[in-house]
Amino acid sequence: MNTAQLQNLIEKYNNQTATQEEKTQLEEWYATVNGESPELRSDERSALKDNIYSSVITSIKNEDVAETEYRKPKIRYLKFVSAAVFVAVLFGGVLIYLQHTNQTTLSNSSINLNKHRLKPGGNNAVLKLADGTELILNQTANGQIANQSGVKITKTKSGELIYTFLSNSKPESFQNNTVSTPRGGQYHLILVDGTGVWLNAASSITFPTAFVGNDRTVKVTGEVYFEVSKDRRKPFIVSTDRSEIKVLGTHFNVNAYEDEDYQKTTLLEGSIEIKKGNLTKLLSPGEQANISTASEAIKIKQIENLDAIIAWKNGYFQFLGSDLQSFMRQISRWYDTEVIYNGSIPAKQYVGKIPRNLEVGDLIKMLAYTGIHCKIENNKITINPK
């Protein structure tokens, strides 16, 4: 298709006379255009990007996706829609643009979003029992699935694990279990003491089936949110490869991915003590501790929007001034895909909130609206930030 034909398609799109097939074709061209567009008047460019924006938002509104256990019951799906699209900020200004060239070719190779769909993640985890047996939880029947030293393990219809004692007498011994999520997975479990644990993608928790000692120690990787059951006699201790977190009863989030520069521990409720080496810090609600591998320091900062920290638990991505690489690392984990950067990475920051159950094609259309164009090929996302 030559430039004249493409301009005719754009005119039909802007006049709302294009067929659904033509609309889809143009939207997918725009998402993968890699900075190229025909010569258009400013009003045509403005109308095109505004109409594409409206189309994406409408598709989100109309998408009928079931509520998950990771979303708070009182959150309605459409409440965020007015702020769903990303704002790309560069030097304090909004960057939303179409560049132009003299010639543009609309080829079949660039219209490929439908051919390479990347599905969002879901409830998917592996339970490793003390004897080494591994149960793939999304393939395991509901009901009691194991008995570990007097502790019953039950999988519910809603897709969570619950550990409970089989009798009133508590066991004097324990066995370690591990629940791990793959890339593109998430899971919720309730430990035998009543503590709630939410695992993000590519995360794990190793824990005793019963807390028989003087504390309740667990080990985590990746990102995990805790709602700890109070027990003043037995502090709850979370161990990571960078720190040890000690609590009595509280709500907090730990982001300890190996590919992130900092381990971030954010306190929502109660109080926690965080320790690295010989250094110890106390956190109050609304504070976040940042720990790097390169330093022994524990840096504390105030977090104004705590909902953004646990947005993943409630079924959203939420970004507060995230750079492109940080943003795409989250996308990569959740959609289980590799991200490739073609050229230099723009110095932009992203602010926005979107549901985690979108197909990645809709996400790419949103990025295209901010000037970041992508292609999906061989289950990989290639970013062309021109």
CB atoms within 10 A of CB 174: 19
**Domain range for 41:** 3-118+317-384
Model pLDDT for residues 214-228, shown as the tens digit of each residue: 999 999 999 999 999
Beta carbons within 8 Å of 198's beta carbon, 6+ residues apart: 70, 186, 187, 188, 224, 225, 226, 313
CA distance 236 to 350: 35
| Residue 311 domain-assigned (yes or no) | no
| Residue 35 domain-assigned (yes or no) | yes
Q: Check residue 161 and give its pLDDT.
A: 97
CATH assignment of the domain containing 57: 3.55.50.30
Name which of 28, 35, 26 is nearest 98 in CA terms. 35
Residue 254 has pLDDT above 90, yes or no: yes
- Please compute the mean of the pLDDT values over residues 263-275 and round it to a whole number: 95
Name which of 154, 181, 178, 155 is nearest 165 in CA terms. 154
Q: Check residue 19 and give its pLDDT.
A: 85
pLDDT band at 384 (very low <50, low <70, confident <90, very high): confident
Q: Check residue 28 and give its pLDDT.
A: 66
| Residue 211 domain-assigned (yes or no) | no
| Residue 305 domain-assigned (yes or no) | no
- Please compute the mean of the pLDDT values over residues 143-169 and round it to a whole number: 91
| Residue 113 domain-assigned (yes or no) | yes
Model pLDDT for residues 322-344, shown as the tens digit of each residue: 888 888 899 999 999 999 998 87
Percent of the residues in the chain that have a pLDDT greater than 70, as a whole number? 74
Q: Check residue 2 and give its pLDDT.
A: 60
Higher pLDDT, 14 or 331: 331
CA distance 189 to 129: 15
The mean of the pLDDT values for the chain is: 79
The C-alpha torsion from 341 through 342 and 346 to 349, rounded to 10°, is -30
Q: Check residue 48 and give its pLDDT.
A: 67
Low-confidence winner among 142-151, 170-179, 183-192, 252-261 (lowest mean pLDDT): 170-179
CA distance 363 to 216: 40
Q: Check residue 247 and give its pLDDT.
A: 93
Higher pLDDT, 306 or 348: 306
Angle at 320 between CA 317 and CA 323, to 5 degrees: 90
Higher pLDDT, 47 or 248: 248
- Please compute the mean of the pLDDT values over residues 146-152 and round it to a whole number: 90
Q: Are strands 236-239 and 244-247 parallel, antiparallel or unpaired?
A: antiparallel
Model pLDDT for residues 159-214, shown as the tens digit of each residue: 899 999 988 767 777 899 999 999 999 999 999 999 999 999 999 999 999 998 89
Residue 252 has pLDDT above 90, yes or no: yes
Residue 141 has pLDDT above 60, yes or no: yes
Model pLDDT for residues 29-83, shown as the tens digit of each residue: 666 554 445 555 566 656 766 676 666 555 544 543 433 343 333 333 333 333 3
| Residue 25 domain-assigned (yes or no) | yes
| Residue 256 domain-assigned (yes or no) | no
Q: Check residue 20 and give its pLDDT.
A: 78
Residue 245 has pLDDT above 70, yes or no: yes
The C-alpha torsion from 116 through 26 and 49 to 15, rounded to 10°, is -150
CB 235 within 8 A of CB 248: yes
Q: Check residue 364 and give its pLDDT.
A: 77
Q: Check residue 117 and give its pLDDT.
A: 63
Model pLDDT for residues 108-117, shown as the tens digit of each residue: 333 344 445 6
Residue 347 has pLDDT above 90, yes or no: no
- Please compute the mean of the pLDDT values over residues 128-133 and round it to a whole number: 95
CA distance 103 to 126: 52
Name which of 112, 119, 104 is nearest 4 in CA terms. 104
How many structural domains are present in the chain? 1
Model pLDDT for residues 274-301, shown as the tens digit of each residue: 999 889 999 999 999 999 978 889 999 9
| Residue 28 domain-assigned (yes or no) | yes
